């Protein structure tokens, strides 16, 4: 069993899996049950000035009967009294000294208010702090959450205030509702933040109530934009994490990765792109604390099978991320259909014909079956047919060897590389000639 112990910016946990700050970390009782189930850490539901929540708070995006592919909420920070939360933090730390208890904080942009809440959280026993500069709804209307995270100067300023008094590591939780996440991460680092957590939720309207045409979740006939999370947001989170991991100014800044983690495979991706710990919310809201067993077992087996440590996995994918202009334009692939596996559904033909490059020939055979085959001269290797094919490994993408050395757009435009002739060149040349012949004389 691989060693999953983790050190995120100085916060130690028995494994990299933390509950994200959200309803699963509302109370000490929940967090203690989660630790018993196997979670390595928990970020307490954000503490701040007392708030009042609406009653209707969550809306979901189901796709083709699959529930909660995306989750939307208009919930604010904790609505429990501060003293109760602080007392429970102390109790949890006393009973679980080796687990990570990180306390999420959000107060108004006032230096004294930040100093006070930092001291209260640390006196209660927090192992680390997470500054919630990400909440995109409600709190942002009051100048907090994403209203801070969207302005790098505010992010830096408040992080500096916190660092003036904090004795434990400080993670700055970033909002994805921003044009370029690197500016926010740089500001967090400039302000002295020990690491960043991302992503918080994405600003969204999940859909409408079809009776009233008000946004869901509906509150007495009205709705509001809310924060979007769950499996559907993972690709956005992965990209933002990789941007921070590859930026010269934030290289090496510890990252707690969040956003749509639903399986151990997702966790592998977050870690390979540079996360040290991985936070989870929607998966637990959907299925409960016991999902941790599969997350830990899966990650541990993956590492064992590759004879790899967690530290070796971290960031291992980053050197493979490049700018488009650096990719090899002489790398040619074609779709290849395994006729033994094909069930003749015709989905690949329709997708390629209407949505791609008209490179699949389809015909009805005498036995009534649909026969499909790829026309190599027309196929541009876009992958679409293999993505729509319902049979695993029926359509594979096969590399077509070329005598040409790799050549990127950058090399081609600098005159230092040669582009191999494309299979389509002949076809495009014919089309161009035909057009010329058809064109009326001027
Ligand atoms: C109902 C709900 C309440 C949340 N409350 C908070 C919060 O108080 N503080 C915070 O930093 N993030 C909050 N979040 C955001 C989560 O911590 C997390 O960043 C987000 O849900 C993405 O993770 P996921 O895709 O695993 O759900 C909340 C999310 C949900 C769904
Ligand atoms: S890879 Fe793209 S172009 Fe080639 S056959 Fe499939 S869908 Fe058509
Ligand atoms: S989508 Fe797959 S199974 Fe269906 S016709 Fe194409 S190759 Fe055959």
Which H or E element spans position 59? strand 58-63
The two structure tokens encoding residue 245 = 């991991």
The two structure tokens encoding residue 67 = 């529930």
pTM: 0.95
Label residue 442 by pLDDT band (50, 70, 90): low
Residue (of 160, 168, 162, 88) closest to 122 by Cα position: 168
Furthest C-alpha separation in the chain:
89
Mean pLDDT of 270-299: 98
Q: Measured in angstroms, how far is the CA atom of residue 343 from the centroid of ligand 3? A: 6
For 324-438, CATH number? Answer: 3.30.70.20
| Residue 96 confidence (pLDDT) above 90 | yes
Q: What percent of the chain has pLDDT over 90?
A: 88
Residue ranges, CATH 3.20.20.70, the chain:
6-320
Rounded CA-CA distance 239/260 in Å is 13
pLDDT digits (tens, 9 = 90+) for 190-247: 999 999 999 999 999 999 999 999 999 999 999 999 999 999 999 999 999 999 999 9
Contacts 24+ apart (CB under 8 A), 113-118: 114/158, 114/161, 114/162, 115/161, 115/164, 115/165, 117/47, 117/48, 118/162, 118/165, 118/166
Residue ranges, CATH 3.30.70.20, the chain:
324-438
Whether 130 contacts 139, CB under 8 Å:
no
Mean pLDDT of 95-113: 96
Rounded CA-CA distance 255/185 in Å is 10
In short, whether 244's Cβ falls inside 6 Å of ligand 3 is: no
Q: How many CA atoms, within 13 angstroms, populate the side-chain half-sphere of residue 147?
A: 12
Ligand 2 first shell, C-beta below 6 A = 335, 351-352, 356-357, 359-360, 374, 379-385
Rounded CA-CA distance 417/411 in Å is 5
Pairing of strands 360-364, 370-374: antiparallel
Mean pLDDT of 116-125: 98
Sign of CA dihedral 321, 325, 330, 336: positive
Instruction: Let me know the angle formed at the C-alpha of 103 by 101 and 105, rounded to the nearest 5 degrees.
Output: 175
Which 3 state secondary structure label does DSSP give 72? strand
Helix, strand and coil content of the chain, in percent to the nearest 5, comes to 35, 20, 40
| Residue 441 confidence (pLDDT) above 70 | no
- CA 193 to chain CA centroid, Å, is 21
135 catalytically annotated: yes
- Model pLDDT, residue 209: 93
Q: Quick one: which atom of ligand 1 is closest to the CA of 45?
A: 8
pLDDT digits (tens, 9 = 90+) for 155-194: 999 999 999 999 999 999 999 999 999 999 999 999 999 9
Q: Measured in angstroms, how far is the CA atom of residue 45 from the centroid of ligand 1? A: 9
- Model pLDDT, residue 383: 98
The lowest-confidence range among 140-149, 159-168, 379-388 is 140-149
Which 3 state secondary structure label does DSSP give 47? strand
Dihedrals phi, psi of 64, to nearest 5 degrees: 50, 45
Q: What CATH topology corresponds to 6-320?
A: TIM Barrel (3.20.20)
Rounded CA-CA distance 187/179 in Å is 14
- Cross-strand partners of 171: 130, 195
Please name the residue whose Cα sits nearest to atom 2 of ligand 2. Answer: 382
Please name the residue whose Cα sits nearest to atom 12 of ligand 1. Answer: 21
Rounded CA-CA distance 250/253 in Å is 5
Which H or E element spans position 397? strand 395-400
The two structure tokens encoding residue 265 = 């495979």
Label residue 55 by pLDDT band (50, 70, 90): very high
């Amino acid at each position: 069993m691989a060693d999953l112990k983790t050190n995120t910016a100085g916060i130690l946990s028995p494994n990299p899996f933390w509950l994200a700050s959200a309803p699963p970390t509302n109370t000490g009782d929940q967090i203690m049950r989660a630790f018993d189930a196997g979670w390595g850490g928990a970020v307490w539901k954000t503490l701040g000035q007392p708030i009042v929540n609406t009653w209707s708070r969550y809306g979901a995006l189901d796709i083709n009967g699959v529930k909660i592919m995306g989750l939307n909420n208009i919930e604010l920070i904790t609505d429990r009294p501060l003293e109760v939360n602080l007392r429970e933090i102390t109790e949890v730390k006393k009973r679980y000294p080796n687990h990570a208890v990180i306390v999420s904080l959000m107060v108004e942009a006032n230096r004294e208010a930040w100093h006070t809440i930092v001291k209260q959280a640390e006196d209660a026993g927090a192992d680390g702090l997470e500054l919630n500069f990400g909440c995109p709804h409600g709190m942002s209307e009051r100048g907090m959450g994403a209203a801070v995270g969207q302005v790098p100067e505010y992010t830096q300023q408040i992080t500096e205030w916190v660092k003036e008094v904090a004795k434990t590591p400080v993670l700055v939780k970033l909002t994805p509702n921003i044009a370029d996440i690197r500016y926010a991460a740089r500001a967090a680092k400039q302000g002295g933040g020990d690491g960043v957590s991302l992503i918080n939720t994405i600003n969204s309207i999940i859909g409408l109530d079809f009776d009233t045409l008000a946004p869901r979740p509906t509150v007495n006939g009205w709705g509001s934009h809310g924060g979007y999370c769950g499996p559907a947001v993972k690709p956005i989170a992965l990209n933002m994490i990789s941007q921070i991991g590859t930026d010269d100014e934030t290289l090496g800044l510890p990252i707690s990765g969040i956003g749509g983690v639903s399986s151990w495979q997702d966790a592998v991706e977050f870690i390979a792109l540079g996360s040290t710990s991985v936070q989870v919310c929607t998966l637990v809201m959907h299925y409960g604390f016991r999902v941790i067993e599969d997350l830990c077992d899966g990650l541990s087996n993956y590492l064992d099978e590759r004879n790899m440590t967690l530290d070796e996995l971290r960031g291992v994918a980053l050197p493979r991320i490049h700018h488009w202009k650096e990719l090899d334009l002489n790398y040619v692939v074609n779709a290849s259909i395994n006729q033994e596996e094909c069930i003749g559904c015709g989905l690949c033909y329709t997708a390629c014909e209407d949505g791609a490059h008209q490179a699949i020939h389809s015909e009805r055979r005498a036995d009534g079956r649909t026969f499909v085959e790829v026309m190599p001269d027309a196929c541009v290797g876009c992958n679409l047919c293999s993505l729509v094919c319902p049979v695993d490994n029926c359509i594979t993408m096969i590399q077509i060897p070329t005598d040409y050395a790799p050549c990127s757009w950058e090399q081609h435009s600098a005159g230092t590389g040669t582009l191999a002739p494309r299979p389509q060149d002949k076809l495009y040349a014919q089309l161009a000639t035909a057009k010329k012949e058809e064109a009326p004389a001027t």
